[in-house]
Amino acid sequence: MKQLIINGNKELTGEIKISGAKNSVVALIPAAILSDEEVTLYNVPNISDTNALIDIIELLNGKVDYKNETMKIDTSKIENKVVPEALSKKLRASYYFMGALLSKFKYAEIYFPGGCNIGSRPIDFHINGFKKLGAEVTIEGNKYIFKANKLKGARIYLDFASVGATINIMLAAVKAEGTTYISNAAKEPEIVNIATLLNNMGAKITGAGTSEIKIEGVKKLGKGVVDVIPDRIEAGTYTIIGALLGKKLKISGIIEDHIDALLSKLKEMGVPMEVNNGELIISKPEEYKAINVKTLVFPGFATDLGQPMSVLLTQANGMSIFEETIYENRMGHIKYLQKMGANIRVNDRTAIIVGKTSLTGEEVTATDLRAGAAMVIAGLIAKGTTIVNEIDHILRGYENIVEKLTGAGAKISIKDTE
């Protein structure tokens, strides 16, 4: 068991460089198995989700060479095997092997995925999409079996613009006979990143990044190369930290359009910042205006930044409202913020936050990945020492978090309790 120990209230300056996006790389690695040759990914973050996916690729007899942020995946000898429950449970993104294996072998056996406990998170849109493409789906306990004589292009409408279903259907349809249209597709930048790799491998996908995606099936996919986009959620997390503790803190390697909603909310609060050529310089203001934040699909305010943002709202003068609209259970961190001194009332998916309240170091728990990020932020602004438990959640998504924060002047370390 590992803990984070944080001594709060230190000004942050210098530079924090943003890593490749977790939610892109976790789909790019499974997408690589569609190639009959070698796929190269640049800017790959070294996080535990990446390592869990390497385990699955190796189980399927693929070869992975991962060093200096570059990953080469040789899939020429890939075999179809059951992905065991212990592996698929390690992360949500194991579900991308459903679409990828079905596409490649017309057969896949895989268990229900894991991931953060932030709501019921069904996968019915993925399954319905596979069925529309011609797959037969059998469910045996937690195991899903997908079988198809052949996959045929189809018109697929998503009831909700789901990121995972959009990517999984793209993976399953890319080698189907004929053309697939996904309407009400998710528009998140990660989807564009996956389509870019697939097109580089020889796929014919247009419209990624809009709500109508067209996929013309191709027979074969070959060599492919792509840069993993910068992690907009990691960028957003450090930007929020900069708004709380920064003195001209530089966040580098960002794509401004990807965090536009956050930047516009921070401006509304009165946070001074400048963005130029992928670099953001941010400082703590004298005081913050209270605002309302409602999470939405891209380009709305990202659900993955709602919990970190709620910590900033405890420092604003007056009443702020944080409303989560994507998941049922994004409030796991609130009880710990209350324990640290925040004045927050939760009603279902809405938190009413009254500030400004000073926070005091306490022993808290990372109940999920972004709740964990919220606890780190709270610890960084609290008086005294904060201990964060169950930090494996955090290490799934933030590369070198201790080193990055320490480099900017924070007092934070990892303690092994075993």
Closest CA to 39 of 216, 200, 230, 204: 200
Comparison of 163 and 387: residue with beta carbon closer to ligand EPZ: 163
Q: Which of 3, 40, 303, 315 binds ligand EPZ (CB under 6 A)?
A: 303
Q: Are 228 and 61 in contact (CB under 8 A)?
A: no
What's the Rg (C-alpha) of the chain? 21
Q: Where are the alpha helices (DSSP H) in 12-161?
A: 22-32, 48-59, 85-88, 96-105, 124-132
| Binding flags for ligand EPZ, 189-228, as an x/- string (CB under 6 A) | ----------------------------------------
3-class DSSP state of 279: strand
Q: Which residue is nearest to ligand EPZ (CB)?
A: 164
Show Cβ contacts of residue 241 under 8 Å, excluding neighbours closer than 6 positions.
Answer: 12, 249, 377, 380, 405
Q: Is 92 in the site for ligand EPZ (CB under 6 A)?
A: yes
- Count of other CB atoms within 10 angstroms of residue 276: 8
Cβ atoms < 10 Å from Cβ of 140 = 9
Is residue 135 within the footprint of ligand EPZ (CB under 6 A)?
no
Q: How far is the CB of 261 from ligand EPZ (least distance, A)?
A: 12
Q: Does 310 bind ligand EPZ (CB under 6 A)?
A: no
What binding mask, one character per residue, do residues 348-387 give for ligand EPZ by CB under 6 A, x or -?
---------------------xx-----------------
Determine the number of helices (DSSP H) and then strands (DSSP E) in the chain.
Answer: 14, 24
Find out whether 2 and 414 touch, Cβ atoms under 8 Å. yes
Q: Is 116 a catalytic residue?
A: yes
Residue 165 CB, nearest approach to ligand EPZ (Å): 5
Number of residues that bind ligand EPZ (CB under 6 A): 26
Rounded-to-integer distance, Cα 285 and Cα 244, Å: 8
Q: Which has the closest alpha carbon to 350: 293, 280, 287?
A: 293
**CB of 42 or CB of 160, closer to ligand EPZ:** 160
Rounded Cα gap, residues 256 and 153, in angstroms: 35
Binding status of residue 121 toward ligand EPZ by CB under 6 A: yes
Rank residues 157 and 160 by Cβ distance to ligand EPZ and give the closer one: 160
Q: Of these residues, 34, 53, 100, 116, which one is catalytic? A: 116
* Residue 396 CB, nearest approach to ligand EPZ (Å): 8
Q: Is 126 in the site for ligand EPZ (CB under 6 A)?
A: yes
The binder of ligand EPZ chosen from 304, 323, 362, 399 (CB under 6 A): 304
Could you say which of 25, 41, 47, 93 contacts ligand EPZ (CB under 6 A)?
Answer: 93
Q: Where are the beta strands (DSSP E) in 217-315?
A: 224-227, 249-252, 273-276, 279-282, 288-289, 292-294
DSSP 145: E
Say whether residue 125 binds ligand EPZ (CB under 6 A).
yes
Does 163 help bind ligand EPZ (rule: CB under 6 A)?
yes
Closer residue to ligand EPZ (CB): 128 or 400 = 128
- For residue 370, the minimal CB distance to ligand EPZ (Å) is 5
For ligand EPZ, the closer CB: 304 or 390:
304
- Please tell me the number of Cα atoms within 13 Å of 396 on its side-chain side: 24
Q: How far is the CB of 402 from ligand EPZ (least distance, A)?
A: 19
Complex with ligand EPZ: residue 163 or 282, whichever CB lies closer: 163
| H runs (alpha helix) in 106-207 | 124-132, 163-173, 189-200
3 state DSSP class of 88:
helix
**Residue 111 binds ligand EPZ (CB under 6 A):** no
Q: Work out how close the CB of 193 gets to ligand EPZ at its nearest, in angstroms, rounded to a whole number.
A: 11
Contact pick of 8, 164, 372, 379 for ligand EPZ (by CB under 6 A): 164
d(CA 417, CA 333): 22
Give burial (CB, 10 Å; 0-12/13-18/19+) of 111. buried
For residue 418, the minimal CB distance to ligand EPZ (Å) is 26
- Is residue 23 at the binding interface for ligand EPZ, with CB under 6 A as the rule? yes
The residue range among 82-90, 162-170, 171-179, 259-267 that interacts with ligand EPZ, by the rule CB under 6 A, is 162-170
Chain residues binding ligand EPZ by CB under 6 A are: 23, 26, 92-93, 116, 119, 121-126, 160, 162-165, 186, 188, 303-304, 326-327, 369-370, 397
Catalytic residues: 116
